[in-house]
Structure 1
Amino acid sequence: MDKKILVTGATGKTGKETVYQLLKNNIPVRALVRKADERSAELKEIGAEIVLGDLLDFDSVTAALKGITGAYFVYPVIVPGILDATAKFAQAALENGLEMVVNMSQISARREAKSNAAQSHWLGERLFDRSGVPVVHLRPTFFAEWLMYRAGEIKVKNSLTLPFGNGVYAPIAAADQGRFIAAILAGPEGHAGKTYPLFGPKELSQFEIADILTEVLKRKITYYPVEIADYGKFMEKEFGYDPWFVQHVIAVAQDCRDGIFSGTNELIRQITGTAPMSMHEYIEENRGLFE
């Protein structure tokens, strides 16, 4: 069977880049989206087949995987449901004989994780492992895109308020992850059963990220570390986030302070042939959001 890849979360940050990279290499893509809108229209315009579906609907997942050889599976961390979605996707993938599933997990995924989402990602990995479907687990550190949560504050107040204390991590851009995912799906040989931690090129504290913002934007941006519990209350009051996501952020903020998100490696360069984007490059590329 000729390759055809299903990309879930296709209008999201990693999914969109995965679609783009696969199509650039002339690999047919079916993009699973929850609704038809301008984002799905953009994917259709560049050559993706668009199908509507819901990862929590077994029938629509099964239909989306028919005729597919490999898939990228990602479930939004901001809402509960990942284990239900994983079980349905794994079964449907098994029934359709997929040669590879790339599963988006997270670096804090572990049995003893305090974050309900992180622990569920770890359990989801185990579900895939037991399903018999060839699978690769990705465990990225914090995305560079975390900065977007505070873009309004940076733009208006020249400040960056987060609960990560002095914790350091190497922010990784979603675009680099998309290139990595596409590379594995294009050439899955030797990857099945692997777990890949993914990092950007350099560990940074929020103080250092604020310094980079200052350098790129040519105005002083100040990082204000806040207590973890206070930030959770702020998320609930100001943004109305689902309690599931608030609990996750509170737990991983402590993980970040404890070094769980730290580290670097050369995997992005080794697998894709191109080094990951630096935080300076990421901010420069997206500077319009902060000006």
Structure 2
Amino acid sequence: MILVLGSTGKIGRELVPALLDRGARVRALTRDPSRARIDPRAEVAVGDLDAFEPALLDGVERVFVLTSGHGSDPLAQEQAVLKAATGVSHVVKLSTTGVHFGQTDPISLVHAEAERAVREAGPDWTILRPGTFMDNRFAWLHAVRGDGVIRVPEGDPASALVHVRDIAEVAATVLTGDGHAGKTYPLTGGEALTTRQQVEILGDALGRRLTYVEEPEAASRARMLGFGWPASAVDGIFELKRQSAGKEEIVFDTVRELLGRAPLTFADWAREHAASFA
């Protein structure tokens, strides 16, 4: 049995069916099963990571550790799961490439501490460090549906964006296969794209011209705060961007090595989700 945390999130919703298709038995954790859309082949378990119940691990051999950001302390959530995982044989932890590059922004530091906890917990472990998700470009949804002007902070770095399906398939491979214990895998897409190129690719998929505009950081910050984002989260995002400049564009070949195929492209992603932007 494999327990999947974050089963309804960006990665989890792809990971659960990928594991089931490989013949694995899956227990998918969710806080609210009435709202969750989980593959009916999976066993649905109700639980809250802020009050993790060790019984959720009964019969579980492997765990995919991903915290959703709900609750006040994601690190404490992961530590609670690891403390209860005494009978588990293998833990796969989702981290970030920021740790690979030694970044000290708040997001990377939390993941670095969580990685340390995973290594010290006792079970075999594998750590996945994906870069920026293609799904993050859903942040452009309202702009595309509105005036078609995509506003980004000045100096927004080029990025080797990674498709969440590739992350999920790598996770499924690691969770159902052997030879991955003690390994750390950085994950990116197959090409680095500037933000302007991303906007052009999305426009091509939609069959319309989108306008790319760079704006001062202060304007972007004010816009994010206007969305209701906490100031600490906005600060963390900008610090992450500053520290990842020149690093996000580095391409790792891990997806191809582990899956035996090329990573999905941003053009693939844009075509898949074109209807969402219409």
State the TM bucket, normalised to the shorter chain.
over 0.9
Distance 1:272 1:110, change over 3 A: closer
- Please, which of 8, 23, 26 is the counterpart of residue 11 of structure 1? 8
Distance 1:164 1:56 in 2: 38
Distance 2:223 2:144 in 1: 16
**Unmatched tracts of structure 2, length 5 or more:** none
8 Å CA contact 1:105, 1:121 repeated in 2? yes
- Superposed counterparts of 1:194-273, under 5 Å: 194-237=183-226, 239-256=227-244, 258-273=245-260
Q: Secondary structure at the match of 2:234?
A: helix
Distance 1:229 1:55 in 2: 35
8 Å CA contact 1:115, 1:247 repeated in 2? no
Distance 1:80 1:171, change over 3 A: farther
Alignment root-mean-square deviation, CA = 1.9
Deviation at 1:169, TM superposition (A): 1.1
Q: TM-score, normalising length from structure 2?
A: 0.93
**Unmatched tracts of structure 1, length 5 or more:** none
How many corresponding residue pairs?
278
Q: Secondary structure at the match of 2:49?
A: coil
Amino acid at match of 1:90: L
Q: TM-score, normalising length from structure 1?
A: 0.89
8 Å CA contact 1:170, 1:203 repeated in 2? yes
Distance 1:279 1:169 in 2: 11
Deviation digits for residues 182-228 of structure 1, max 9, x if unmatched?
110000x2212221110011100101101112222222112222333
Amino acid at match of 1:6: L
- Please, which of 61, 64, 88 is the counterpart of residue 72 of structure 1? 64
Distance 1:133 1:275 in 2: 31
The worse-fitting range, judged by mean Cα deviation, of 18-27 and 208-217 is 208-217
- Which residue of the partner structure matches residue 115 of structure 2? 125
Distance 1:243 1:53 in 2: 29
Q: Percent of aligned positions with the same letter in both sequences?
A: 27
Q: Secondary structure at the match of 2:249?
A: coil
8 Å CA contact 1:158, 1:222 repeated in 2? yes
Within the alignment, does 1:281 sit opposite 2:278 as a pair?
A: no
- Which residue of the partner structure matches residue 49 of structure 2? 55
Distance 1:109 1:226, change over 3 A: farther
8 Å CA contact 2:134, 2:266 repeated in 1? yes
- Which residue of the partner structure matches residue 78 of structure 2? 86
Deviation digits for residues 5-49 of structure 1, max 9, x if unmatched?
000100111111111011111110000001112434x42x2x100
Deviation digits for residues 128-174 of structure 1, max 9, x if unmatched?
11122211111111000010011111221212222262511111111
Deviation digits for residues 227-264 of structure 1, max 9, x if unmatched?
33432222112x112334222211122134x2232211
8 Å CA contact 2:193, 2:249 repeated in 1? no
Distance 1:281 1:110 in 2: 27
8 Å CA contact 1:80, 1:244 repeated in 2? no
Distance 2:2 2:250 in 1: 31
Distance 1:70 1:33, change over 3 A: same
Within the alignment, does 1:37 sit opposite 2:72 as a pair?
A: no
